[in-house]
Homo-oligomer: A and B are copies of this chain.
Amino acid sequence: MNIGQAAQASGVSAKMIRYYESIGLIPKTVRTEAGYRVYSDHDVHTLRFIRRSRDLGFSVEQIADLVSLWQDRERASKDVKAIALEHVTVLERKIRELQEMASTLTHLATNCHGDARPHCPILEELASDEAGQGDFKPDAKFGLLGKVSAR
């Protein structure tokens, strides 16, 4: 099976398959004489596992751990559970941060007439000198907005 077919069968784009190979998430495949990558059903199964993990928001690093646990028949289920729960913690923090933003904005928008006049509580809040959200400090890098999931 070529990379395109493996992509279709797994739901992981050919681009990403090559990327995952380049970073070592999946092993280098066999190649045809012409240099084409060749995939087995087993490889597709692994790719699907990876896609599922991405859909649940796991990072590539976590996925690497999950894949290796998956392939380890001696694994302890607590190791898997720990990764999952750790991720849940992160997800919940992000959810709370987003909810705080949304509720603040919803509140401000509710108090904004939304007409042709210039008076606007939203701008007033953004421009106010007070602390506003107080100590609200999302985790720096890749904290709240932006990429939440793949695909």
Contact = CB atoms under 8 A, between A and B. Distances in A.
Given A91-B101, A145-B149, A115 B48 contact: no
A105 B149 CA distance: 14
Contacts of A114: 77-78, 81-82
A55 B105 CA distance: 11
A81 B78 CA distance: 48
A69 interface: yes
B99 A57 contact: no
A147 B133 CA distance: 19
A30 interface: no
Max count, chain B CB within 10 A of own CB: residue among A102, A116, A125, A145: A145
A33 interface: no
Copies in the complex: 2
A70 interface: yes
A49 B126 contact: yes
Given A106-B88, A126-B49, A126-B66, A76 B133 contact: no
Contact of A147 (B59, B126, B147): B147
Contact of A143 (B91, B102, B149): B149
A114 B78 CA distance: 4
A94 B88 contact: no
> 7 nearest interchain CB pairs?
A144-B148, A146-B147, A144-B149, A145-B148, A81-B114, A138-B149, A77-B120
